[in-house]
Structure 1
């Protein structure tokens, strides 16, 4: 749950776009819709309306992925539930990257070998692992995150776990789901990422910055660090309070106006005046983040640096 005063977060299931299937329209109608630019193809036999408003590449990829989920649901006859990253999308969770395949879980294969756009998972589910989100059958939130932790690269899994915890998933429920998974593959990775998951992360970028320094062997930073300044109390994204080092993650859309920049400059100066050293981080800085942070920490940290192998996979 959010810790910073004024911050709020809750599960907001995805709104599914309207989709059309090839089987439902004469070929000439489909061709005309595509030629006129009113429709776009998202996967074999699935079409969605072109967006009239501008959207980022990430937003467009999410919309197309959700369209494929909706189209897949209409095409499948056998019992099925959307799972893994596809379920995360339906739950409205941010992801580090958008899946290009639709993940389906069921008692039998869902045609994944015949349809490259479907990733089919076979297995039984307990009743508590099943629910409905946005009108579609989906794995529970805890099961969804547990599956993602076990199958995704650690950074990608952490982004999903952090966001779910931040939106109210109890850590006890997630822990139980991780330990309840019967599949052995990815179990160690899931437990390693779960150990550093934190409900204080408010964006994928903050999760990524924390992941990099922890993976590289640095002490686990605190999220949402409270700092009293002459302008009042501010909350840094993450940092090491004992060393008075703070990290602030800056996304591309964080400062929309000159007034935002002015306010952030005052905030930054007020933090520095307390004796804190503030390091600003963007996505381009992640590969070299540990090298930038280490000079700000005691030499003993550098000497004891031991990368965490379980997070390097």
Structure 2
């Protein structure tokens, strides 16, 4: 059955009732698999929903929440923390799917749906922005707030990407000072101290964090190496030892052209580096979750290169 609506959504139940002429129409279409209930009182076309990424689905839920809040004449809040991170397009890894919002006063108990987490804080004008048409915390506030509620590696991903997106370093320093003594501040400060705008993906950020815990000199990032086949760039490198470290995420092979062509170029690139005396160690996502084995691999390669 085709979706009897001009766009896939999100749609509030009351709007569907008005358009389809029945208060039960939304539930009936959901039972038939035409619509998907994305949160309390909100729906989306099932076929279109299946094609959305996890981040796009969260943004759709935010839009539905905001529309419902306008109808209830709720005001004085801003989407914050991980929800604001998604609005700003910040990289996230393995985080919750709740709708996070910040308002000056804590609401009465059960005032919000179960998928909403309310943070009670007074926000200044410098901490507010409008992103994708929705009220949000600023990029700097979002990075700090999100990092304070995450585990260390997750916070590193957020801090690194915040730098790539151009956060104001001075404002981040000020926000960290304001949060001194509060929950999660040590994690946020540690991630900020190690933050690098040269990390191009969540995997590179997490790998760099793990490297900082290992008993090796930290490698340089995004190192350009000249070979007979041209200039190549390594994610990480111990230049004096001619040891390169590459993080192989799917993006590297699927985002820049047909996969087969990219792999051929990668093999040619690697041969050129090897001819010049480089040793190349490739790291995959699964390697990041066995720190002992990863440390042993790196130690072995560095020792051989030093010898």
Is the TM-score greater than 0.5? Answer: yes
Which structure 2 residue ranges, 5 or more long, are not aligned? 1-7, 18-22
In structure 2, relative to structure 1, the CA distance for the partners of 1:98 and 1:296 (3 Å cut) is same
Q: Tell me: higher relative CO, structure 1 or 2? Use CA pairs within 8 A at least 6 residues apart.
A: 1
Which portions of structure 1, spanning 4 or more consecutive aligned residues, are displaced by more than 6 angstroms?
none
Indicate whether 1:44 and 2:40 are aligned: yes
1:182 positional shift: 5.8
Q: Structure 2-normalised TM-score?
A: 0.83
Considering fraction of residues, name the structure with more helix: 2
Instruction: Give the one of 21, 25, 30 matched to 1:29.
Output: 25
Distance 1:160 1:266, change over 3 A: same
Worse-superposed segment, 66-75 or 140-149: 66-75
Give the secondary-structure state (helix, strand or coil) at the position aligned to 1:254: helix
1:88 equivalent in structure 2? 85
The 3-state SS of whatever aligns with 1:195 is: helix
Partners of 1:65 and 1:98 within 8 A in 2: no
Alignment counterpart, residue 70 of structure 1, candidates 52, 63, 68: 63
What whole-Å deviation, never above 9, does each CA across 1:47-82 have from its counterpart, x for those lacking one? 222344974xxx532122112211222233131001
Of 255, 277, 291, which aligns to 2:296? 291
Contact 2:164 2:198 in 1 (8 A): yes
Q: Match for 1:60 among 53, 57, 62?
A: 53
Instruction: Map residues 131-280 of structure 1 onto 2, 5 A cutoff.
Output: 131-181=129-179, 184-255=182-253, 256-280=258-282
Q: Quote the Cα distance in structure 2 between the aligned partners of 1:180 and 1:246.
A: 40
* Displacement of 1:153: 0.8
CA distance, structure 1, for counterparts of residue 233 and residue 126 of structure 2? 37
How well do the aligned residues superpose, as a CA RMSD in angstroms?
2.4
Aligned partners of 2:116, 2:109: CA distance in 1, in Å?
A: 5
Q: Is the 8 A contact 1:61 1:98 kept in 2?
A: no
Aligned-partner Cα distance in 2 for 1:131–1:183: 26
User: 1:198-249: per-residue Cα shift (whole Å, max 9, x none)?
Assistant: 0011111111211222234543332211212111221111232233221111
Give the match for residue 102 of structure 2.
Answer: 105
- State the alpha-carbon separation in 1 of the partners of residues 15 and 49 from structure 2: 27
The count of corresponding residues between Structure 1 and Structure 2 is: 281
Structure 1 spans left out of the alignment, 5+ residues: 1-16, 302-313
Contact 2:155 2:187 in 1 (8 A): no
